[in-house]
């Protein structure tokens, strides 16, 4: 997938360097790193939401620890990639919205994107807090090493973190639905190239 994003996705280059793969963003286009992180994390987060629901409601109770461990292990990776993404956002320009975008749309877009960052990190941190408070913990990373835990085992705390992990995971899903609806609105109603610039890095 990464090779797809870095090579195939980037053929068009950017406004300043047509035809060249640009890693960094410009004032008008998303670089390959931002696009790779966006699509990889979109896939992983949607996957964790679907798998999280499935593992808690469908398999036999005895199998749930196994599935919850896989969910947690992918969740740790998402958290790590989110931290790298925040660093990348801080050191890169953010491509501007099209000229003439109304103020309310700018405010809504920024608020929604900011909340997507905050909620993803908070949901993952609550999952991690729940893991440390739960007996047994979900600390064994695919049998390779132990992920340090920052909470200690406590039944009431474990329940509290679990509940908030789940409530906020569904709040995150609601924000994603809004975000995807906005992307489709830009693609099919406004036809202003916003979806395309996140797919192939073209300048908008």
Burial class (CB in 10 A: 0-12, 13-18, 19+), 166: middle
Among 124, 161, 201, 202, binds ligand HEM (CB under 6 A): 124
Asked if 9 interacts with ligand HEM (CB under 6 A), we say no
Tokens found for residue 7: 């090579």
Select the residue interacting with ligand HEM from 5, 10, 33, 197 (CB under 6 A).
197
Work out whether 25 is an interface residue with ligand HEM (CB under 6 A).
no
Out of 14, 68, 161, 202, the residue judged to bind ligand HEM by CB under 6 A: 68
Considering only residues 164 to 193 of the shown chain, the ones binding ligand HEM according to CB under 6 A are 165-166, 169, 172, 176, 179-180, 183
CB of 139 to ligand HEM, least distance (A): 8
Q: Which of 29, 27, 5 is nearest to 18 (CA)?
A: 29
Give the separation between CA 91 and CA 71, rounded to whole angstroms: 31
Which residues does 182 contact at the CB level (< 8 Å), separation at least 6? 108, 109, 112
Q: What is the DSSP letter of 62?
A: G
Does residue 201 touch ligand HEM according to CB under 6 A? no
138 binds ligand HEM (CB under 6 A): yes
C-alpha 11/C-alpha 21 separation (Å) is: 7
Helix (H, G, I), strand (E, B), or coil: what is residue 38?
A: helix
Which positions touch ligand HEM (CB under 6 A)? Answer: 34, 38, 42, 45-46, 48-49, 52-53, 56, 68, 71-72, 75-76, 78-79, 89, 95, 113, 116-117, 120, 123-124, 127-128, 130-131, 138, 162, 165-166, 169, 172, 176, 179-180, 183, 194-195, 197-198
């Amino acid at each position: 997938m990464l090779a797809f994003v870095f090579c195939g996705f980037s053929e068009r280059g950017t406004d300043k360097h047509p035809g060249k793969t640009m890693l960094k963003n410009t004032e008008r286009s998303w670089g390959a790193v931002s696009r790779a992180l966006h699509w990889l994390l979109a896939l992983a987060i949607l996957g964790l939401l679907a798998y999280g629901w499935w593992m808690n409601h469908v398999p036999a109770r005895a199998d749930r620890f196994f599935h919850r461990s896989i969910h947690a292990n992918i969740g740790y990776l998402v958290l790590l990639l989110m931290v790298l993404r925040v660093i990348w956002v801080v050191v890169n320009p953010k491509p501007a919205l099209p000229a003439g975008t109304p103020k309310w749309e700018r405010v809504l877009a920024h608020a929604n994107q900011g909340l997507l960052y905050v909620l993803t990190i908070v949901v993952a941190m609550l999952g991690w807090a729940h893991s440390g408070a739960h007996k047994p913990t979900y600390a064994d990373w695919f049998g390779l090493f132990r992920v340090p835990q920052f909470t200690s085992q406590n039944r009431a705390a474990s329940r509290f973190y679990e509940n908030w992990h789940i409530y906020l995971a569904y709040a995150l899903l609601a924000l994603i639905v809004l975000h995807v609806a906005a992307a489709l609105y830009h693609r099919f109603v406004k036809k202003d190239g916003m979806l395309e610039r996140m797919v192939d890095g073209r300048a908008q």
